[in-house]
């Protein structure tokens, strides 16, 4: 039932690019691809509880400025994506932007935007930045609560490349 309700969110490509003719994992050869401007944005949501959200907003967390630390962690992770995702290419990142939006009474939204001039996309970099920024927030608040929830880590947009532009269908999350 759940899978049927989620079908509108998924589309399937005809060919898996990271699999060779024998079905084995491989890194895609981008030797002959032209470098173009590539962008990607991703987001994540966190539920943290009203008291925790207030401590973040008031910047009174014992570990320090939660959003600044999470932003730095997300930027560092974005730049290291090819070291932690096995088949990703190293990319020369031109810009990484990470923003946080407090949604009262208990939610934080994390938004990432990555730009590169390269011959492969930056979707994984944007997703990695959103993931690590949200994990860092969890680390910063875990002394106050262990019940924070990280959800909806997803690609929102991408531009450039052979597959063209993408924009996630909007919904309430």
In whole angstroms, give the CA distance from residue 112 to residue 120: 18
Structure tokens at 112: 């990432």
Structure tokens at 64: 């320090």
The residue length of the chain stands at 173
DSSP assignment of 38-87: EEEEEEEEEE--HHHHHHHHTT--TT--HHHHHHHHHHHHHHTHHHHSTT
Neighbours of 105 (CB within 10 A): 11
Residue 65: per-residue pLDDT: 95
Question: Could you give the count of Cα atoms lying within 13 Å of 72 in the half-sphere of its Cβ?
Answer: 6
Q: Check residue 164 and give left, alpha or beta (phi > 0: left; psi -120 to 50: alpha).
A: left
Structural domains of the chain, ranges and CATH numbers in brackets? 40-167 (3.30.70.640)
Q: Phi and psi of 160, rounded to 5°?
A: 90, 165
Could you give the residue numbers annotated as active site?
139
In whole angstroms, give the CA distance from residue 125 to residue 163: 17
Q: Would you say 17 and 69 are in contact if contact means Cβ atoms under 8 Å apart? A: no
Residue 98: per-residue pLDDT: 98
Residues 6+ apart with CB under 8 A from 1: none
Residue 26: per-residue pLDDT: 77
Each of the 173 residues of the chain gets a pLDDT tens digit; together they read 455 545 554 555 556 676 777 777 777 878 888 889 999 999 999 999 999 999 999 999 888 899 999 999 999 999 999 999 999 999 999 999 999 999 989 999 999 999 999 989 999 999 999 999 999 999 999 999 999 999 999 999 999 988 888 999 876 66
């Amino acid at each position: 039932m759940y899978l049927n309700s989620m079908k509108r969110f998924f589309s399937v490509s005809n060919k898996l690019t990271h699999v060779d003719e024998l079905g084995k994992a491989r890194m895609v050869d981008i030797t002959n691809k032209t470098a173009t401007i590539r962008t990607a944005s991703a987001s994540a949501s966190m539920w943290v509880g009203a008291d925790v959200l207030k401590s973040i907003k008031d910047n009174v967390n014992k570990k320090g400025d939660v959003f600044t630390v999470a932003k730095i962690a997300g930027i560092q992770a974005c730049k290291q994506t090819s070291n932690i995702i096995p088949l990703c290419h190293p990319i020369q990142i031109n810009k990484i932007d990470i923003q946080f939006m407090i949604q009262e009474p208990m939610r934080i939204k994390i938004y990432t935007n990555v730009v590169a001039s390269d011959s492969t996309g930056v979707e994984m970099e944007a997703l990695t930045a959103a993931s690590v920024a949200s994990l860092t927030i969890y680390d910063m608040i875990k002394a106050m609560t262990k019940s924070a929830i990280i959800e909806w880590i997803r690609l929102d947009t991408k531009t450039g490349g052979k597959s063209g532009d993408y924009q996630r269908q909007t919904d309430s999350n």
